[in-house]
Structure 1
Amino acid sequence: MNKRPRDEPSSSFASAPKRQYGAGGGGGGYGGHGYSEERSSARRVADHYSARSNQTLEERENSPIIHLKKLNNWIKSVLIQLYAHPGDCVLDLACGKGGDLIKWDKAKVGYYVGVDIAEGSIKDCMTRYNGDTDQQRRKKFSFPARLICADCYEARLDEHLYEDAPFDICSCQFALHYSWSTEARARQALANVSALLRPGGIFIGTMPDANVIIKRLRETDGMEFGNSVYWISFGEEYAEKKFPASRPFGIKYKFHLEDAVDCPEWVVPFHLFKLLAEEYDLELVLTKNFHEFVHEYLQKPEFAELMRRLGALGDGRQDQSTLSQDEWEVAYLYLAFVLRKRGQPPSQRRGNNANRGKMFLTENDIDFLGV
């Protein structure tokens, strides 16, 4: 794997004045996209992820991007190990089918709330939490949980989670870019995080790296680029390949990743994301492209051993297979970030979690908020 240099922010994404993004300054979003169209886009994304069936272990191992999936799991595991602490209360936004539950369990967290817009995914998460799958689950999870089916970029989660808050750590993995279809949704996403985190609380996540994506678009002759496992396509409205900072929301592209994703996504200019997050008292702690992240944390023995166990680069023994060059190129499209909520952490942690959530969940326990 060759480390690629970090791309500098594009001059086409110059800093924008505070609270002056887009035409209409809020719910209208970019380019005149209306509320009903936005709900339709969110529903298409939800339906896409709900429709993806759970894979058996054999099917997963035969995936054309199995090593990329393992690399992504390693990156998420490293973030959780670095920033989660025993007893932490976790808010997992866009939790999907609960793929990170084991990671949180290994971190010995105290309470877990998962939120996802896709009903099928949240039910699969419930099944996984209960240990009723053919996955590698041999014992119950050690923490109580609560699951919510909601659009966390539209619903005011603090109105429904006031008894559960504050949370010590919030996670949003490979999903925050779906909020950047409009300014209103991007703001609601950050407002939810800020309202529910305690002072000093941590927000970890992963999302596409806009600098890399726009650089790749400008390097290609047409409006589409990719390799054997992915492609990205921009519409002709972006034929000039210019993206004014005054209109940073609603920059849509089509993304296809073999055996994983096939739906619209939105560009998130990270330096503008940072400015917007600051309005919600969320300060940047770390941002690294996946290539940089891998090269830095692979130097640490405990994380190198974790990489070996997960097998993204093979196990160095019987398994000699490794991440393909095309998969490594996909990894370059993403970044990891860490934000911290301003303020002094409380001197005492909230009391025990015995009265929060349940240790076994039924469909009747899932809260449905406006979906």
Structure 2
Amino acid sequence: MVMKKGLVVTGDAQFLEDESTKIFARKVADHYSARTNQTLEEREASPIIHLKKLNNWIKSVLIQLYARRGDAVVDLACGKGGDLIKWDKAKIGYYVGIDIAEGSIEDCRARYNGDADHHQRRKKFTFPARLICGDCYEVRLDKVLEEDAPFDVCSSQVTDSFDVGFALHYSWSTEARARRALANVSALLRPGGICIGTMPDANVIIKKLREAKGLVFGNSVYWIRFDEEFSEKKFKSSSPFGIKYKFHLEDAVDCPEWIVPFHVFKSLAEEYDLELVFVKNSHVFVDEYLKRPDFVELMRRLGALGDGNQGQSTLTPDEWEVAYLYLAFILRKRGQPEQKRVNSRRDKGKMQISKEDIMYVGSEI
């Protein structure tokens, strides 16, 4: 790892990728950097407000299920910091947020510090934090975070606003990026550590594509379009990477994404000592966890389905269809958990983050 013009540069030859992929990743990062934080009024006026609230509920449930008091958390593709409050409620002990988009990292810094002028600000966060700007699927993060690891929880999730930062499905443009993503997750987690993730459900997307008359399908709030190269709607099992489609979601996403065949994802994860705990489509997830009273109350408070008392509107059928496009998964790092060690790594975090505290990292080719 070397320092070059204020940029920490770290990489290795095993995961080299072509320059066009990097340029494309930069363009997507710029898209998310350009998106601004919304006021409460703007957020509530969103045509997918209840879908955002539902996604918020799913992530809150995952964090409540798997995060423990005092945990060290690394948030890959942290975006604008939309999950900071969730981690605070879980009483974690240390947080590292990483995202490729400089604008998103700056918004995350403002949110953490309490400088942001939007509805989500509340009391001071209770955990120290670090923020890093870099491509999680290009940079070797075990070198960058050598003094911070191991972590108890790694998170890579679509945010509540669907500003996905670069959640794991963005790593699937090439095999090199997919492998780097999983190698980073594995290297950062302690034995027995947990990776929490959400991503598009490839089975659902391909099923809808094959049911469509052409290469475009959707409803009033979203559409997905595949290029002509997929006109036969067949996908070679020998080429599971780089299957690109354009995804548009009202008031949220307008970017290329990549199909992630989950059986390939699971097999690749196993190569990096990451075992699948569960994978559930969002519809199944909602049905299962709404059977628990505490999560029913959480859903009521978040308002995805209305509160049942004041005639609030609820998730529309079109929003519910979008929810079907996503899944949630949990991976666990193989090995016997050691007794949780207490070391000085949390001293690297700060309770107030300045612009100068943000680390910028890139890979050396």
Give TM-score scaled by structure 2 length.
Answer: 0.91
Alignment of 1:1-371 (within 5 A): 35-134=18-117, 135-174=119-158, 175-351=167-343, 354-370=346-362
Cα 1:183–1:354 change in 2 (3 A) is closer
How far off its partner does 1:41 sit?
A: 1.5
Specify the alignment match of 1:10 in structure 2. Answer: none
Checking the alignment, whether the CA contact within 8 Å between 2:195 and 2:330 is kept in structure 1 is yes
Report sequence identity in percent: 75
How far off its partner does 1:63 sit?
A: 0.2
Give, in whole Å, the separation in 2 of the partners of 1:194 and 1:90.
13
- Amino acid aligned to 1:182: T
Q: Deviations over 1:218-246 (max 9, x none)?
A: 00110000000000000000011111111
SS of 1:232's partner is strand
SS of 1:185's partner is helix
- After TM superposition, the runs of 4+ consecutive aligned structure 1 residues lying more than 4 A away are none
Checking the alignment, whether the CA contact within 8 Å between 2:148 and 2:346 is kept in structure 1 is no
Q: Deviations over 1:299-322 (max 9, x none)?
A: 100000000000000011114200
Give, in whole Å, the separation in 2 of the partners of 1:71 and 1:351.
37
Give, in whole Å, the separation in 2 of the partners of 1:348 and 1:119.
33
- Amino acid aligned to 2:51: L
Cα 1:353–1:86 change in 2 (3 A) is farther
Checking the alignment, whether the CA contact within 8 Å between 1:144 and 1:353 is kept in structure 2 is no
How far off its partner does 1:348 sit?
A: 3.2
How far off its partner does 1:356 sit?
A: 2.4
Give, in whole Å, the separation in 2 of the partners of 1:121 and 1:230.
23
Q: Deviations over 1:192-223 (max 9, x none)?
A: 00000000000001000000000000001100
Give, in whole Å, the separation in 1 of the partners of 2:330 and 2:204.
19
Checking the alignment, whether the CA contact within 8 Å between 2:67 and 2:92 is kept in structure 1 is yes
SS of 1:170's partner is strand
Q: Deviations over 1:133-171 (max 9, x none)?
A: 232323110000000000000000110100000000000
SS of 2:233's partner is coil
Give TM-score scaled by structure 1 length.
Answer: 0.90
SS of 1:242's partner is coil
Give, in whole Å, the separation in 2 of the partners of 1:164 and 1:136.
28
How far off its partner does 1:27 sit?
A: 5.9
How far off its partner does 1:132 sit?
A: 1.2
Q: CA RMSD in A?
A: 1.3
The unaligned stretches of length 5 or more in structure 1 are 1-25, 29-33
Larger CA deviation: 41-50 vs 348-357: 348-357
Checking the alignment, whether the CA contact within 8 Å between 1:232 and 1:254 is kept in structure 2 is yes
SS of 1:265's partner is strand
SS of 1:355's partner is helix
The unaligned stretches of length 5 or more in structure 2 are 1-13, 159-166
Give, in whole Å, the separation in 2 of the partners of 1:203 and 1:220.
34
**Count of aligned residue pairs for this structure pair:** 341
Specify the alignment match of 1:21 in structure 2. Answer: none
Give, in whole Å, the separation in 2 of the partners of 1:91 and 1:128.
17
Give, in whole Å, the separation in 2 of the partners of 1:284 and 1:320.
38
Specify the alignment match of 2:161 in structure 1. Answer: none
Checking the alignment, whether the CA contact within 8 Å between 2:148 and 2:345 is kept in structure 1 is no
- Amino acid aligned to 1:306: L
How far off its partner does 1:354 sit?
A: 4.8
Cα 1:94–1:87 change in 2 (3 A) is same
Give, in whole Å, the separation in 1 of the partners of 2:145 and 2:49.
36
Checking the alignment, whether the CA contact within 8 Å between 1:314 and 1:321 is kept in structure 2 is yes
Specify the alignment match of 1:5 in structure 2. Answer: none
